[in-house]
Amino acid sequence: MKITVVGSGYVGLVSGACLADMGNDVLCFDLDARKIDMLREGRVPIFEPGLDALIQRNSAAGRLRFTTDIEDSVRHGSVQFIAVGTPPGEDGSADLSHVVAAARNIGRHLDGYCVVVDKSTVPVGTADRVRAAIAEELKKRGASHEFAVVSNPEFLKEGAAIDDFLKPDRIVVGSDDERATRVMRELYLPFQRNHDRMIVMDVRSAELTKYAANAMLATRISFMNELANLAEKLDADIELVRRGIGSDPRIGYHFLYAGTGYGGSCFPKDVKALQRTANEYGANLHILEAVERVNEQQKSRLIDKVEARFGADLSGRCFALWGLAFKPNTDDMREAPSRVIVRGLIERGAKIIAYDPVAEEEAQKVFAGMHDISFATSPMAAIHDADALLIVTEWKEFRSPDFESIREGLRAPVIFDGRNMYDPSIVRSYGLEYHAIGRP
């Protein structure tokens, strides 16, 4: 099948590469010439495990190509995926200008039947706007080509996106057109050989499903963080509570980990956008208002613990910080808790020595102009002569550290663990103070 992917960002590249890997002829379009040149050279502008090899393999096979030519991209694909960014506006609403622009380009150059797929995370009603924009451009041309617009939201976890696409737990398709539904079934058949994972529904329900999924996961995180803060006051252990409630099959273990709050490009943006949509229809999502408020407060929880241990004035103090990305296996620092923690400690007079195995380059951009943060080449290099260690991202390489060397390297033998990575009794057996989230 000939497929065009409009937008060569995170979702577009993963989708395009995975579709090409199944034998489809995929053309990825982007207006950013620098990005397209990188991709043609086999270099990938984002970090996602396995993506570089996947792109290189399918590019070499001729199944995956990249272009900045709008007309070529539209004329190539009988299926056109719109996978452009929808950044939040000042009022929290999703900015659909790139989505509508992509739709207009399709309308200007469409020369036959086409299924247009909204892959970007978009508010309910976006498919109607895409359909209207294409129809308007066709009318200007005096053309009458048939087309259909479907919603096919992505459920890709950063750090595991390729597996999520190749082995989906569900494929949501919002379609009101039988022909378009058949096309989507054919397209996704190779990804669901053992049983049918496609859930077909009306377009608006599909658009809402994406927001609802992310809002539910964000809610679980904020609920556990708020419960963890209560557990500290009650001298209870949130990790034991997590195991106790997670063993209930109605609840499950996923997204029940207390920590320093959620970040990234999806949860914060989608929670805000869903609230904005509700407000536009005269409704209030009080639970999501609380979810967002709790999350913002939780990002400062480690700062509160540092202040309680070392005082509000941290002048002359130096802290080692492990982890900068909002989660492991990505370099994404959008809305990352580390941004709040680093700035908060520096504002109180501290210096930071940070280590992240992947996100240092991105962090240097985020913290550009801030002279009180430096970057180490290894976890142990960050610790040397620091007053304490803060763990902000749960990278695998932090799971089993040399606690004896940590104690010897720190000025004060103190660990602030924002991800509850360790058994408190083991850490304390090495003569280290251990301050976690929701643990006595």
- Which are the catalytic amino acids? 266
Separation between Cα atoms, residue 288 and residue 225, nearest integer Å:
14
Q: C-alpha angle with apex 208: 203 to 214, nearest 5 degrees? A: 140
CA dihedral 359, 364, 370, 371 (to 10 degrees): 100
Separation between Cα atoms, residue 246 and residue 239, nearest integer Å:
10
CB 337 within 8 A of CB 295: no
Angle between helices 301-310 and 337-347 (to 10 degrees): 30
Q: What is the DSSP letter of 259?
A: S
Closest CA to 310 of 339, 348, 360, 284: 348
Beta bridge partners of 82: 6, 118
Separation between Cα atoms, residue 55 and residue 51, nearest integer Å:
6
Q: Which ranges in 281-417 belong to alpha helices (H)?
A: 286-298, 301-310, 337-347, 360-366, 379-383, 403-409
Separation between Cα atoms, residue 121 and residue 105, nearest integer Å:
19
The residues, any chain, with a CB within 8 Å of residue 218's CB and separated by 6 or more, are: 262, 267, 270, 271, 288, 291, 295
Separation between Cα atoms, residue 162 and residue 168, nearest integer Å:
10
Task: Write the secondary structure of 123-178 as one string of H (helix), E (strand) and C (coil).
Answer: CCCHHHHHHHHHHHHHHHHCCCCCEEEEECCCCCCCCCHHHHHHCCCCEEEECCCH
Edge-to-edge strands, sheet with 171-174? 64-67, 25-29, 2-6, 79-82, 114-118, 147-151, 171-174, 198-201
CB 1 within 8 A of CB 23: no
- Structure tokens that stand for 356 in this block: 């992240």
CB 220 within 8 A of CB 255: yes
Separation between Cα atoms, residue 359 and residue 422, nearest integer Å:
23
